[in-house]
Copies of this chain bind each other. A is one copy, B any other.
Amino acid sequence: MDFSTDFKPLTVQPKEIEGKSFEMITEEIGEHSFTEEQYPVVQRIIHASADFELGRSVRFHPDAVRSGVHAIRQGKKVVADVQMVQVGISKPRLEQFGGGVDVYISDPDVIEEAKQLNTTRAIISMRKAIKEADGGIFAIGNAPTALLELIRLVKNGEARPGLVVGMPVGFVSAKESKEELAKLDIPFITNLGRKGGSPVTVAAVNALSLIAEQQG
């Protein structure tokens, strides 16, 4: 069989690929308890991970979608914990509202301060972010220490995020950090367990900016 004719007709149109993927997800997920407002976020998370277990583990604060969309439409910044999250988030949809995506973890002042305090750059980057992105969306896909620090700053009354998308992955503190986030009464999107990561965090933010755009 000619390989090129076998595969090419199926795969070359990005919009078709996405549409077909979304149909497959809706068929396969079956019954779930997400609201109509929440489901597009979950769908995009499953699209990014091909992992229904991860998708089903997503948890929303009741104000999460509304508040996240509001922040985007107000042109508030999105703060990414790491560059992989920053580059994945769709910029044009944020920029039309005056927003954008910032990441502080490689800033020279952050690196220097982390060294001096013998702590992670992720922690120091959150201390910088709450000053630079008040009311913004904090998208944490990699570093549990960033999420734990942000939770501490929220509890202290120092941080007032518009939304926290907290889905770090890993074996040490990831699960625990997300359980702590889910206890807060602030807008959050998170998931249960060790899984998570940059692509699902990106997917959640991109789902929200699509909703923001569709509201016209």
Contact = CB atoms under 8 A, between A and B. Distances in A.
Given A3-B155, A7-B148, A123-B12, A195 B49 contact: yes
Copies of this chain in its oligomeric complex: 2
Main secondary structure, interface of A, reads helix
B152 A4 contact: yes
B170 A3 contact: no
A135 interface: no
A21 B197 contact: no
A61 interface: no
Contacts of A196: 50
A156 to B, nearest CB: 9
A113 interface: no
Interface stretch (A34-42, A70-78, A173-181, A204-212): A173-181
Interface string A145-164: 10010011001000000000
A60 to B, nearest CB: 21
Nearest to A14: B120
A99 interface: no
Contacts of A25: 171
A48 to B, nearest CB: 7
A84 B47 contact: no
26 contacts: A3-B151, A3-B152, A3-B155, A3-B180, A7-B176, A10-B172, A11-B148, A12-B118, A12-B119, A12-B120, A12-B123, A14-B120, A17-B172, A17-B173, A20-B171, A24-B171, A25-B171, A48-B169, A49-B197, A50-B170, A50-B193, A51-B51, A84-B84, A84-B198, A197-B199, A198-B198
